C-alpha cells in the first residue's frame, strides 16, 4: 500500500512538472513553424536571426533542468511582446504585399450598414464616456497579467501552468491569423473618429499605439480575444474577481471601436476566438494531465 501511494505521489509530481512545460512547448511549435516561414519567405537576415534566438531562448527554459523554475514558468508570457513586434516581418515573409482591409470594410458595411469605428464617437460625443472606454482599452495590459500573477504568487502552480497554456493558445491563434490574413485596421484606412476626445486616456492610448503597434494585426482583435480568455479563466480560478475583468473586457471591446482602433468585426472575431479556444485549451490541459497521471501510475517500478 505504501509503495502504491508513493507511486501515485510520484506520478502527481511528474504531472505537475509536465504541466510546467506545456506553455513553452506550445510556443516552440509556433516558433518552429514561423521559422520555416522566415526561412523560405522574404525575410531580413536580422529578422531571421532574432527569431532563431527567440526560439532558442524558449527551448532552453522549457526543457533544460538547470533553468530556474520561475523562468520556465514565465518565459512564454515574457516572449509575447517580441512575438507581437515581429508580426510585420512574418507578414512580409508570408508574401503579403498589402493588407486585406478592403474585405473587412465590406464585411463591416454589410453587417452594420456603416463604419462604426469612424462614426460611433461622432454619434455619441461624450468626453466622460470616451475617457472611460479608453481607460478600459488600456486595462488590457493589466488583464494579461491578472490571472497568472494571482495564481503564481498564491502558490497555485498547476493552475498557473494551465492558465498560461490557454492564454498562449489564444495569443498564438491570433498571431497565426495575422500571418495568413493581415488587416491594418481603421487607424490606417479611415479618418479619425469625429469629435474624438483629447483627454489623457485618449492621448495615452493613441501614443501607445503609434509607438508600439504592429501593422497588420487588427483581425481578429487580440485585445478582445485575450481579455475574453482572461475573463473566463478569472471566473474559473478567482471567483468574484472575474466579474471585474469581465466588466473591463466589455469596456475594452467597446473602446476598441469607439476609439477607432478596430473594426467592429475585429472585436466580434476576437470574442469568438476567446470563447472558442479557452474551453478547448482547458480541455486539452485536463486530457494531457489525466493521460500523464495514468501512464505514470501504471508504469512498472
DSSP assignment of the chain, as one string? -HHHHHHHHHHHHHHHHHHHHHHHHHHHHHHHHHHHHHHHTT--HHHHHHHHHHHHHHHHHHH-TTS-HHHHHHHHHHTHHHHHHTHHHHHHHTT-SS--HHHHHHHHHHHHSS-HHHHHHHHS--HHHHHHHHHHHHTHHHHHHHHHHHHHHTT-HHHHHHHHHHHHHHHHHHHHHHHHS-B--HHHHSPPPTT---SHHHHHHHHHHHHH--TTB-SS-HHHHHHHHHHHHHHHHTTTHHHHHHHHHHHHHHHHHHTTSS-HHHHHHHHHHHHHHHHHHHHHHHHHHHHHHHHHHHS--
| Residues 197-221: tens digit of each pLDDT | 778 999 999 999 988 889 999 999 9
> Tell me, what's the pLDDT at 131?
94
The larger pLDDT score, comparing residue 274 to residue 66, is at: 274
- Residue 249 above 80 pLDDT? yes
Which residue's C-alpha cell is 476626445?
A: 197
Full domain range(s) for residue 189:
2-298
Confidence class for position 2, pLDDT limits 50, 70, 90: low
Q: What is the mean pLDDT of residues 242-254?
A: 96
Could you give the number of structural domains in the chain?
A: 1
| Residues 13-59: tens digit of each pLDDT | 444 567 889 999 999 999 999 999 999 998 899 999 999 999 999 99
Confidence class for position 177, pLDDT limits 50, 70, 90: very high
> Tell me, what's the pLDDT at 14?
44
Q: What is the mean pLDDT of the chain?
A: 89
> Tell me, what's the pLDDT at 7?
43
> Tell me, what's the pLDDT at 10?
38
| Residues 102-154: tens digit of each pLDDT | 999 999 999 999 999 999 988 888 889 999 999 999 999 999 999 999 999 99
- For residues 10 and 16, give the distance between their C-alpha atoms in angstroms, rounded to a whole number: 10
> Tell me, what's the pLDDT at 301?
52
Amino acid at each position: 500500500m505504501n509503495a502504491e501511494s508513493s507511486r501515485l505521489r510520484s506520478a502527481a509530481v511528474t504531472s505537475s512538472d509536465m504541466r510546467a512545460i506545456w506553455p513553452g512547448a506550445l510556443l516552440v511549435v509556433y516558433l518552429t513553424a514561423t521559422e520555416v516561414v522566415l526561412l523560405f519567405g522574404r525575410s531580413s537576415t536580422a529578422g531571421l536571426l532574432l527569431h532563431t534566438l527567440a526560439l532558442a531562448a524558449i527551448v532552453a527554459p522549457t526543457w533544460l533542468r538547470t533553468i530556474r523554475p520561475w523562468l520556465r514558468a514565465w518565459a512564454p508570457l515574457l516572449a509575447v511582446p517580441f512575438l507581437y513586434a515581429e508580426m510585420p516581418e512574418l507578414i512580409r515573409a508570408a508574401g503579403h504585399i498589402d493588407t486585406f482591409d478592403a474585405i473587412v470594410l465590406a464585411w463591416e458595411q454589410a453587417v452594420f450598414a456603416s463604419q462604426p469605428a469612424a462614426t460611433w464617437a461622432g454619434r455619441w460625443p461624450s468626453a466622460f464616456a470616451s475617457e472611460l472606454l479608453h481607460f478600459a482599452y488600456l486595462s488590457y495590459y493589466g488583464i494579461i497579467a491578472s490571472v497568472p500573477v494571482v495564481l503564481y504568487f498564491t502558490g497555485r502552480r498547476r493552475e498557473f501552468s494551465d492558465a498560461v497554456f490557454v492564454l498562449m493558445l489564444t495569443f498564438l491563434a491570433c498571431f497565426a491569423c495575422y500571418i495568413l490574413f493581415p488587416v491594418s485596421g481603421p487607424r490606417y484606412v479611415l479618418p479619425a473618429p469625429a469629435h474624438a476626445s483629447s483627454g489623457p486616456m485618449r492621448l495615452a492610448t493613441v501614443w501607445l499605439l503609434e509607438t508600439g503597434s504592429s501593422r497588420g494585426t487588427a483581425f481578429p482583435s487580440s485585445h478582445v480575444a485575450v481579455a475574453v480568455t482572461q475573463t473566463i479563466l478569472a471566473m474559473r480560478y478567482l471567483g468574484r474577481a472575474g466579474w471585474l475583468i469581465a466588466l473591463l473586457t466589455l469596456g475594452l471591446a467597446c473602446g476598441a471601436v469607439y476609439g477607432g482602433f478596430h473594426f467592429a468585426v475585429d472585436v466580434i472575431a476576437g470574442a469568438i476566438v476567446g470563447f472558442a479556444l479557452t474551453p478547448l485549451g482547458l480541455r486539452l490541459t485536463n486530457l494531457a494531465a489525466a493521460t500523464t497521471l495514468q501512464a505514470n501510475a501504471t508504469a512498472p517500478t
